[in-house]
Amino acid sequence: MFERPFPGHLAAVPDQGSGTDWELVITVWFFRRWGILGLIYIIVGLVVAWNHAYITVALLKAVLSAILAVVLWWLVLLGVNFHLG
């Protein structure tokens, strides 16, 4: 019924009946919990790095300038300067 039309296609595939609904609930809960914990871990790491001067305003300006230059590369070719500060 839900066969894939060609290999690699991301169509729905029927459940093979290998798990229960509770296993699905536990799996989703596990990944959501680790997602939240991972986000908290990254935020705490950013705060600690900021407080110990590994991340500075100058670094943030340089990173933002680089991101703008990469995304808007065609403006760089036209002579627009993205150096902040």
Q: Render pLDDT for 28-76 as a digit per residue (tens, 0 to 9).
A: 776 777 778 888 899 999 999 999 999 999 999 999 999 999 999 999 8
Dist CA 46 CA 52 (whole Å):
10
Question: Which tokens in the block code for residue 31?
Answer: 């990944």
Dist CA 68 CA 62 (whole Å):
10
The pLDDT tens digits of the residues spanning 22-36 come to: 777 777 776 777 778
Question: Which tokens in the block code for residue 56?
Answer: 């500075």
So where are the chain's domains? Answer: 19-53, 55-85
Q: Which pLDDT value is given to residue 9?
A: 55
Report the candidate in 50, 80, 60, 45 with the shortest Cα–Cα distance to residue 71. 80
